[in-house]
Amino acid sequence: MIVATSRTAEPGFENYTEYLEAIRSAGCTLIEVDSLFKRDRARNEAALSAVTAALGSRRPSVIHAHAAIPARIGQAIGAPVVQTMHGWSRQKSAAHTAEDLAIMSGLDVVAFPSVSSRRQLQDIGGRFRRTVIIPNGISESPPVAPLPDGLADLLRRRASGAKILLSIGSLTTQKNHRLFIDALPAITRRHDVMAVLIGEGPELSALQAQASSLDLTDRVRFCGYLKEAASTLAIADVLVQPSLAESFGVAVVEAFRAGVPVAASSIPPLVELVLETDCGWMFRKDSPEALAATVNEILDAPVEERTGRTDRARHLFLERFTDDRMIDAYDRLYATLA
């Protein structure tokens, strides 16, 4: 397998070192070029030249891209192209939307992680040769990692009765952590809770200021990026997912695997994951009052009710969302194209 990635990061398209190391450790050829994501024809052509030079006489059987611009570069190489549509930015301009949809309309296959993510693009004019639904998959076993030193006190807080409300995701406006913090006063009036936010991003300073203005500094913990973030679900009482937009919801599936109750915003991909399967609780996406009421409901719910939903969620995870199932689905897709 050959993996091509941009050498220089673009906002929202950064590489994590551990992923690059994992690619190399798996015996894959890693090609780092500029730029596979920049909307600049000259830079894209330079990237194409660098990739074709690295390929030499080799020609891929299938090209798998993860955004429209690299998919267009892949088309120029001359092999069937699959693009996985991981997410659709709410900040795209009309011109960028038109450009990306035009590229995707000419691809061999566009893969979506959920039915609702496909519907979103169809609703804005996306027309595709062929689509498939392949949910994102994660390992059947959760990662095991020591709790970071900065979180060790949470074990003591939890042992004394505090509840841990966890949110995993980049600190961006799309992830909507401001709603979570706005909801905390109504939760803390009824329960002893700690809100733990795992992730990094441009919203950090604003979120810290918001927590301070609400006198919640001692109730909100910002942990930054953690390599094995899902391992912290072992100390969580509720996963709170307040996103304004998602194509799937990997953190939700990680909570399903870990047996942690989920409180999710009412956006279509999370409705599909949580509400339609009765595997969690939902709140209106723009309402801190609804978020607070939902978390309070979870914390007050009888053990049998919480266990019933988390058991269903665990079964759903094993049935649909393991990495083995995802890999098998892509292998079958590749075989039809190669």
Contact 267, 244 (CB under 8 A): yes
**Which residues of the chain are modeled with pLDDT < 50?**
none
Q: pLDDT digits over 87-105, tens only?
A: 887 778 999 999 999 999 9
Q: Strands 63-65 and 29-33, how do they pair?
A: unpaired
**Would you call 16 exposed, middle or buried from its count of C-beta atoms within 10 A (0-12, 13-18, 19+)?**
exposed
Q: Work out the widest C-alpha separation in the chain, in whole angstroms.
A: 67
- How far is Cα 89 from Cα 100, in angstroms, rounded to an integer? 11
Instruction: Report pLDDT for 89.
Output: 78
Contact 213, 184 (CB under 8 A): no
Q: Strands 238-241 and 262-265, how do they pair?
A: parallel
Residue partners of 127: CB distance under 8 A and separation at least 6: 101, 105
Q: Kindly report the CA angle at 121 between 229 and 312, in degrees rounded to 5?
A: 45
Closest alpha carbon to 63 in 324, 338, 332 = 338
Q: pLDDT digits over 278-304, tens only?
A: 999 999 999 999 999 999 999 999 999
The neighbour count for residue 154, using CB atoms within 10 Å, is: 21
Q: What is the DSSP string of 247-315?
A: SS-HHHHHHHHHT--EEEE--HHHIIIIITTT-SEEE-TT-HHHHHHHHHHHHHS-HHHHHHHHHHHHH
Instruction: Report pLDDT for 12.
Output: 62
- How far is Cα 141 from Cα 167, in angstroms, rounded to an integer? 20
Instruction: Report pLDDT for 59.
Output: 87
Backbone dihedral angles phi then psi of residue 19, each to the nearest 5 degrees = -70, -40
Q: What is the DSSP string of 157-226?
A: HHHTTPEEEEEES-SSGGGTHHHHHHHHHHHHTTS-EEEEEEB-STTHHHHHHHHHHTT-TTTEEEEE--
Backbone dihedral angles phi then psi of residue 176, each to the nearest 5 degrees = 65, 40
In the chain, the domains with their CATH numbers are: 2-139+323-337 (3.40.50.2000), 149-320 (3.40.50.2000)
Structure letter (DSSP) for residue 10: -
Strand partners, 2: 29
- Phi-psi domain of 210 (left: phi exceeds 0; alpha: psi -120 through 50; beta: other): alpha
- How far is Cα 84 from Cα 68, in angstroms, rounded to an integer? 9
Strand partners, 281: 263
Torsion of CA 167, 173, 179, 184, to 10 degrees: 50
Instruction: Report pLDDT for 14.
Output: 75
Instruction: Report pLDDT for 11.
Output: 66
Count of residues for the chain? 338
